[in-house]
Structure 1
Amino acid sequence: MDCPSEEAQIRKRLAQVDGIRGMVFDLAGRRLEVTHEPAGQNAILRALHAIGMQAVVAPASQQVVYFIEEMDCPSEERQLRSVLEPLEGVQAVDFDLKAHTLTVSHSLADTASIARTIEGLGMRPFEKAEGSAAPVAGEPVPVVASHAPLAAPAAGSATRFFISNMDCPTEKATIRKRLGAVDGIERLDFDLMQRRLDVQHHLPDTAPILKALSDVGMKATVERAGGQDPQGQAVYLIEKMDCPTEEGLLRKALEGMPGVKALDFNLMGRTLTVSHELADLAPVTAAIERLGMAPVLRSASEPAPSVAREFGTGISRGQWIRMVLSGVLALGAEAMVFAGTPEASWPIILASLAAIGLGGIETLKKGWIALKTRSLNMNLLMTVAVIGAALIGQWPEAAVVIWLFGIAEMIEALSLDRARNAIRKLMDLAPESALIRQPDGQWIEVKADTVPVGSVLRVRPGERIALDGEVVAGQSSVNQAPITGESMPVEKVVGATVFAGTINERGTLEFRVTSRKGETTLDRIARSVQEAQGQRAPTQRFVDKFASIYTPAVFAVALAVAVVPPLAFGQPWFEWVYKALVMLVIACPCALVISTPVTVVSGLAAAARRGILVKGGLYLEQGRHLKSVALDKTGTLTHGRPALTDIIPQGAMTKNEALRLAASIDVLSEHPVATAIVTGHGNAPLATVERFEAIPGRGVKGDVDGRTYYVGNHRLIEELGICSPELEAQLDALEFQAKTAVVLATDKEVLAVLGVADTVRETSRQAIEDLKSLGIEPVMLTGDNKKTAQAVATQVGITSAKGELLPQDKLQAIEELLARGPVGMVGDGVNDAPALARSSIGFAMGAAGTDTAIETADVALMQDDLRKLPEFIRLSQRVAGILTANIVFALGIKAIFMVLAFTGHASLWLAILADMGASLAVVFNGLRLLRAPAATRVNNS
């Protein structure tokens, strides 16, 4: 029992059995839970056996809970899943990474095999007594075969460190290795997102820990000592916080505040998360308000989509009117100067002051705040330049400069909102209401966020699906492009999965809800992309650091230009002060700083539109550096399930009759090859089979119309004594093509040969060709036999294929590939966990319905289409090209105008025009990623 057809067959048969109250199917685990009258068990078993189901009563489930110190991130979870889920007797595994606990549901008399399997991965399982708390310190004792509960280690001290340059698994591994050599340290808990490390230890002070961290280049500060948890986290939504200038102001105001432990900024989402130990957040709120910002406090657990919708994205009509009037007045003042009116005349001064007041008052306010907080940012530079121009009598230029700066800021804000909206619009795809079935059979419309899991919803043609679910009635085609990027609608029948935000095209569907609002696949995608947007890519970190050095340096140069020539060489003050003011305008790092985040965010959004979920700018940038890609065979290059490929009739037998006979007998078998033959037969009528019998290791047999037929392998035919050289040649030919040969025969003659294989996906060959054209070497790593591996590799165009590999062998293969350069690994997000974790980028394919893959993969390909992999790499190359162009352009403009300013050939208004133009150019260049078609050779619109 492993597909909906068997489920339907069982439901139909058990519906005829008295005393059955309910049925719950688990096709993946081949389990059926039946609620029934006390005396009904034997009747159920007889009914199942009557339709060929090999049913046994499963042993009662037990649970064992392990504390595993080394298990604290998704890569360890993937490793453990890959080895425990196939283990005989293990029914389910449940992880709590934060608590370092693993709960295993099993039907074993002795759990020693579970413990040994965990230890085989280099982890130490500590079995918890029922109801006990997780150990918090001490050396966990490995579990042995005995079930006697072990004492938890004694508690020590707990210290939390903030490590500013720890934000990826590489640093985590380095720290774990270094601190593992420090005596007295018992346990490490990492939070890479918040750059925190919690250390349980028995040391008198933290000096040895700080020294060890410093030895490996980590910049650590003690955030909290004594082991007490902080009171919590506060999330502020700040409308005016959307660039590094505001982040710098907030860091300066909040980082030294008593009780504030850590700050986490998401400029694209305009959110600030404050980790604190405060009883009252009023001091934090007041500090933010003193910077001219209006913080809105939200719960730390509130879903990201509501945060994204909190603020409007448009600029008010009043703002536009003020900017238009400011421009008219500023350009009017400039025109009067060209017409001969003296710059010091009252009409020009008043017009310029009005223009500055209408179009630049916000900039001046921000400049004043920056001066008070001693933050050298672009608002302060603009303020100094405008006031300096006014003081030397250049009123019209002061007005034009601040007006152009204000216009540039407004256009940049609109452009950044477009990048934000790419994900916000994705969230808006799911409707806010849904039709729900009532107990009396009536249908009413309710809000989607009130619908509980298990409810039955109806969606009509042309409507969007509100929540994830499983179809229970109806048939239709659904446009899944928002989730998987597929261009063609997907057929949906009973048992199929539907996703929130997708469009039902032609038929009415009824489906049972499997995920509530906020937990759907669409929600998880949006949440992952928003989290990725909040992370700084390597290029962005470089640019931010460069800007933090560049701006003060240019300010210092401008100051020297203003005072040194007049004081040292008797040069005119007016000329050199004016040149210095032009340099101040050029010193604004706006174009440079904004160039990276808008490009990376646009790239992440463009990938999501294509059904490629990238977990951060790091992977988006790193994709273009891959030298090789390792691919699992089953489920990646192939469909992952056997299918009937060949029917070769012998003698007078026809293809249809051979298939009918083979399927009639195989329908009673549970073997995957038999399932493939039955599926290949379709819904055509089957013959009645009597005296069915399984022949272990060989096949099956049964009587049809009084004649005995055999369906089996090469060995069975040899034992029947009916193998011939001609048949041997046919079997060898099929096996050479990596196919399983199945023979239909009587005890006297062979009637037909059938071929069954895990067929190669139609898109795999083109994907491999695309990877080669990009200069990337594809390598197949599979646990299947070498003959099959080579046959599939030949079909798809892979020259390097390794078969019969265990998980540790795949890991070794990845290590060897890494010696030649960055490596990508494509798997299913659960299996191949060690190799996926070790690779430079781990890709999970077909992740639309897989929670684990979406949460843990570096890059999740939502559709079962390997062509998405080269598409991602092309997108990575395109993002890198735009990033490079933006940075070179921004720095080039500044270098040119530095020279022009020093030689006296640049005016203030020309400098701000160039700076504004550069900023807008890099923003629009980055936004081109949102307009670009899918980066693939095939029509994948």
Structure 2
Amino acid sequence: MTASLKQTRFKIGGMDCASCAAKIDTAVRRLDGVADVSVSVTGASMTVSHGGALPEDKVLRQVARLGYGIVKADVKAGARISAGKADDHNHADHEGHDHEGHDHEGHDHGGQPAGKEAAASSHLHSDAEPGQAWWRSRRAALTLSCAAALLAAYGIGHVVPAVERWAFLAALLVGLVPIARRALMAALAGTPFSIEMLMTIAAVGAVMIGATEEAAAVVVLFLIGEMLEGVAAGRARASIQGLADLVPKTALVERNGDIVELAAEELAVGDVIVVRPGDRIPADGEIIEGSSDIDEAPVTGESTPKRKSVGEAVFAGTISTDGVLKLRVTAAASDNTIARVVRLVEEAQEAKAPTERFIDRFSHYYTPAVLVVGALVALLPPLLAGGDWNEWIYKGLAILLIGCPCALVISTPAAIAAGLATGARRGLLMKGGAVLEGFAGITAVAFDKTGTLTQGKPVVTDVLPFGRDERAVLALAAALEQGSSHPLAVAILDRAKADKAPVPPALAARAISGKGVEGKVGGVAVFLGSGQAAAERATLTEAQRLAIDGLNSQGKTVSVLVADGTVAGLIAMRDEPRADAAAGIAALKGEGIRAVMLTGDNSRTAEAIAASLGIEARAELLPQDKQRIVGELQGEGLKVAKVGDGINDAPALAAADIGIAMGGGTDVALETADAAILHGRVTDVWRMIKLSRAVMANIRQNITVALGLKVVFLVTTIAGITGLWPAILADTGATVLVTANAMRLLRWRG
């Protein structure tokens, strides 16, 4: 797509399988001004790329004629767009009705203004209103009506045998007319070989050879299969849309000293909101008052709440369990972490995986081939071998039903969509099916150190006192560091707070460039700085020098505390590995995946961290060096994933087969690279690979089921063992099995 193209997004109602998406894609591509079309079944959406102004009325009408509801995705509450035109007057009855935040599947947005043909054709694929049970949908009503008509036909035929055939014909027409209408509309829109066309040909052919009862039963079974597909597709959509439902609808906002309740979607960046104990947090924000244990399980899957206080960030949808918090909103409702995750997953589901693209191309030739095979089976034996015409036409029609590509076409996208959704719910964001599929082949992972394998900030690891206790050493050091924002100063202050060391005031405190900080604490002259600078103010014993060297050899930065001209203690600090880093590296090795650390840090620190994690290290690297090493690994035949912060590692992320941004919900973590680990867990790299492999295994199972059943019933049909009923059961059954198997991925735990 060129930079000059614009994009318009639509929500589609009643679309439940890849065949539906293909019909819509083909129909919309035929319109003037349309450059590209991307349709997501799970997202129930369509993105149209176009150069100039898009003829929206034509897009809406074209989709409505195929039998699907459609509305422009950015339509505001009360401003409905349907297949005919935009209603620019206010709909009083739609006040407050959010056309963007819920699933439009239940609305016949495309039916009314588009004309009678659109209204009639939309009957089959109109789904339930949001919140309604599936059995109250129009699709279910049609299925139940056709089934009831079939049962009535059996009863009438038993009581009045003379009209039995006409009763079954009437039952058949109840279900077949909508199907045939959609087949015709699809053919006119560029998809002549649709599943509906195969069904229509088979049903009409069966009537012509006197198999009216079977034709009616086959249509009922087909409608049941369609309905079950819709239920499964709805579950897949709900799995990711459930994330959006985590955010409360209202928020308590501080305005002019008062607390008022407003809709969460009205919150603006900078607003101050109050969150009570037990409440869900309505927006991304920063704590400005209070502290609380934050239950992030609904968003991150973390089993243990995290204690958060002033200055720390919180996500929308998480729960404040035991404290009252005041937050400053840092992102509008449309741009909070959950909204961006949902948007990213919907966009990712529109990007097809290589396997899915292959299946699409295969089915493009497969369906016409089925028609040819069915025709040959029906015609050749009677023409060449004197076979019975009725018998072989019957077999040819059964082959049309067996050959329906629905199960095969849905086998891959259903698994991909379920995999993307379940990954997103666990903070594993992958930008499209190609990325999800690519993880399965990863054989090496290159990690950045700072902020990726480590926490990204130093912490105090050792306090060695001389002539004083640890708390006294921390108290003197913290007194000098009060008010400083230097990372080492913050580490000392945090440790003093954690150890409950008193922090007395320091007088005449000042920083000495390149050396440290000095001042007076309780009348005592105190200095805190490097070992070399400390040696200028006090005599270090041999034991103290050895201790400093030993700590340095572990990659730690050592600050020496001097009080009244003598060494009072040593404070060692280091950017420590993440709690799960060692487990994450071990898990990758357990899968036979090579792990390597690439860092710009000094060799001593790198080697110390690497030794504690069991990973090989390359240190003192510039960004271009990291890119070069990724290329060298690829030259060894490895498929490389690069994990970094998405900024400094940009060249290496771009060079890798898959680039992964590590972050805590930041824009960088969500928008850089091919994938993002939302919650900063090293083990999540392993989980991404495991999820990808589970998805690929699921796809292989689905394709085996879809093709295997067809082969079995093809043989039995030609042999005269099975007929129309088993044929449609094979197709419907395979579709249901494939969809159900894909939905198992929604329960994946990693």
Same-fold call, TM cutoff 0.5: yes
**1:660 is aligned to 2:475:** yes
Q: Is 1:606 aligned with 2:411?
A: no
Larger RCO: 1 or 2 (CA < 8 Å, sep 6+): 2
Asked if structure 2 preserves the Cα contact closer than 8 Å seen for 1:483 and 1:862, the reply is no
Equivalent residue, structure 2, for 1:733: 550
Q: Deviation of residue 885 (structure 1)? A: 0.6
SS at match of 2:456: strand
* 1:456-855 matched pairs, under 5 angstroms: 456-650=272-466, 652-667=467-482, 671-682=486-497, 684-720=501-537, 722-746=539-563, 749-798=566-615, 800-819=616-635, 820-848=637-665, 850-855=666-671
CA distance change for structure 1 residues 679 and 284 in 2, over 3 Å: closer, same or farther?
Answer: closer
2:120 aligned residue: none
Q: Which residue of structure 1 aligns with residue 2 of structure 2?
A: 197
Name the structure 2 match of 1:316.
136
Paired position in structure 1 for 2:70? 295
SS in 2 for 1:625: coil
Once the two structures are TM-superposed, the CA of residue 706 in structure 1 deviates from its matched residue by 4.1
**In structure 1, how many angstroms separate the alpha carbons of the residues matched to 2:357 and 2:13?**
23
Seen in structure 2, the aligned counterparts of structure 1 residues 569 and 625 have a Cα distance that, compared at 3 Å, is same
> Is contact 1:563–1:577 with CA below 8 Å preserved after alignment?
yes
* Identical columns (%): 39
CA displacement, residues 408-460 of structure 1 (integer Å, 9 cap, x when unaligned): 00001110110011121211221222222222x22222222223322222222
Task: Tell me how far 1:548 sits from its aligned partner.
Answer: 1.2
Deviates more, 1:807-816 or 1:256-265: 256-265
Match of 1:213 in 2: none
**Amino acid corresponding to residue 46 of structure 2 in structure 1:** L
SS in 1 for 2:744: helix
Q: Where in structure 1 are there 5+ consecutive unaligned residues? A: 1-195, 199-228, 936-941
Match of 1:270 among 36, 41, 44: 44
Amino acid at match of 2:206: A
Partner Cα separation in structure 1 for residue 8 and residue 465 of structure 2: 72
Q: How far, CA to CA, are the matches of 1:805 and 1:562 in structure 2?
A: 70
What is the deviation of 1:284?
A: 4.0
Task: Report the Cα offset of residue 671 of structure 1.
Answer: 4.4
- Residue 827 of structure 1 deviates from its aligned partner by 1.2
Determine the structure 2 residue equivalent to 1:326: 146
Residue aligning to 1:420: 237
Is the contact between residue 847 and residue 854 of structure 1 (CA under 8 Å) also seen in structure 2? no
Q: 1:446 to 1:678 in 2, by over 3 A?
A: closer
Distance 1:418 1:597 in 2: 14
SS of the residue aligned with 2:440? helix
- Pairing of 1:897-912 with structure 2 (within 5 A): 897-912=713-728
Distance 1:454 1:717, change over 3 A: closer
1:529–1:613 contact (8 Å) kept in structure 2: yes
Q: 2:28 & 2:566 partners in 1: Cα distance?
A: 87
| Cα distance in 2 between the residues matched to 1:692 and 1:445 | 47
**Residues 100-131 of structure 1: per-residue CA shift (max 9 Å, x gap):** xxxxxxxxxxxxxxxxxxxxxxxxxxxxxxxx
Structure 1 length as normaliser, TM-score? 0.70
Cα deviation, 1:584-639, whole Å, max 9, x if unaligned, reads 01110010111111111111111111121222111111112111111111111111
Conserved 8 A contact 1:612-1:872: yes
In structure 1, the partner of 2:672 is: 856
| Inter-partner Cα distance in structure 1 for 2:527 and 2:679 | 40
Are the aligned partners of 1:412 and 1:920 in contact in 2 as well (CA < 8 Å)? yes
Amino acid at match of 1:741: V
Of the structure 1 ranges 238-247 and 572-581, higher mean CA displacement relative to structure 2 is found in 238-247
Give the structure 2 partner of residue 436 of structure 1: 253
The equivalent residue for 2:181 is 365
| Contact map agreement 2:519 2:526 (CA 8 A) in 1 | yes
How far the C-alpha of 1:680 sits from its partner, in A, is 1.5
Per-residue CA shift, 1:776-812, capped at 9, x if unaligned?
11100011111111110110111x1011011111111
Partner AA of 1:656 in structure 2:
R
User: What letter is aligned with 1:743?
Assistant: V
Distance 1:855-1:784 versus aligned 2 partners, 3 A rule: same
Q: 2:119 corresponds to which residue?
A: none
> 2:213 corresponds to which letter in structure 1?
P
Give CA-to-partner distance per residue, 1:535-562, whole Å, 9 cap, x none.
2111111111111111111211111111
Name whichever of 287-296 and 360-369 sits farther off: 287-296
Secondary structure of the structure 1 residue equivalent to 2:445: strand
* 1:759 counterpart SS class: coil
Whether 1:381 and 2:198 are equivalent positions in the alignment is yes
Tell me how far 1:826 sits from its aligned partner: 1.2
Amino acid of the structure 2 residue aligned with 1:655: E
C-alpha deviation, 1:336, in angstroms: 9.9
Distance 1:424 1:249 in 2: 25
CA deviation string 1:823-859 (max 9, x = no partner): 11111222211111221222222332x1122122322
What's the CA shift string for 1:617-674, capped at 9, x where partnerless?
1111111211111111111111111111112223x32222222222223337664333
Do the aligned residues in 2 keep the contact of 1:486 with 1:863 (CA within 8 Å)? no
The CA RMSD over aligned residues, in Å, is: 2.7
1: CA distance, partners of 2:60 / 2:468: 84
Q: Is the 8 A contact 1:720 1:747 kept in 2?
A: no
The 2-side partners of 1:699 and 1:289 are apart by 73
Counterpart secondary structure, 1:844: strand
Distance 1:444 1:886, change over 3 A: same
Cα pair distance change 1:824/1:695, threshold 3 Å: same
Contact residue 140 and residue 227 of structure 2 kept, 8 A = no
Kindly provide the CA deviation profile for residues 342-389 of structure 1, in whole angstroms up to 9, marking residues without a partner as x: 9xx644313322332333332222233345556111111111111111
Q: 1:752–1:921: structure 2 CA closer, same or farther, 3 Å change rule? A: same
- What displacement does 1:466 show? 1.7
Task: Check the 8 A contact 1:234/1:300 in 2, yes or no.
Answer: no
Distance (Å, rounded) in 2 between the aligned partners of 1:704 and 1:692: 9
Say yes or no: does 1:255 pair with 2:71: no
Amino acid at match of 1:360: L
Q: Deviations over 1:511-544 (max 9, x none)?
A: 2222222111111111001111122111111111
Change (3 A) 1:775 1:347: farther
Per-residue deviation, residues 888-926 of structure 1 (Å, max 9, x unmatched):
111111111111122222211011111111110010000
1:305 shift after superposition: 8.3
Bigger share in helix: 2
TM-score (norm 2): 0.87
Relative distance call for 1:812 and 1:308 in structure 2 (3 A) is farther
Aligned pairs (5 A) from 1:215-234: 234=8
| CA–CA separation in structure 2 for the residues paired with 1:370 and 1:674 | 69
Letter in 2 for 1:426: L
- What amino acid is aligned across from residue 232 of structure 2 in structure 1? S
Runs of at least 5 residues in structure 2 that lack an aligned partner in the other structure: 80-97, 107-127, 129-133
Q: Residues 289 and 720 of structure 1: is their aligned pair in 2 closer, same or farther, counting only changes over 3 Å?
A: closer
Q: Once the two structures are superposed, what CA deviation does each residue of 1:64-83 show, in whole Å capped at 9, x if it has no partner?
A: xxxxxxxxxxxxxxxxxxxx
Q: Please give the alpha-carbon distance, in whole angstroms, between the structure 1 residues aligned to 2:99 and 2:578.
A: 36
Q: Which whole-Å CA distance do the structure 2 matches of 1:927 and 1:921 have between them?
A: 10
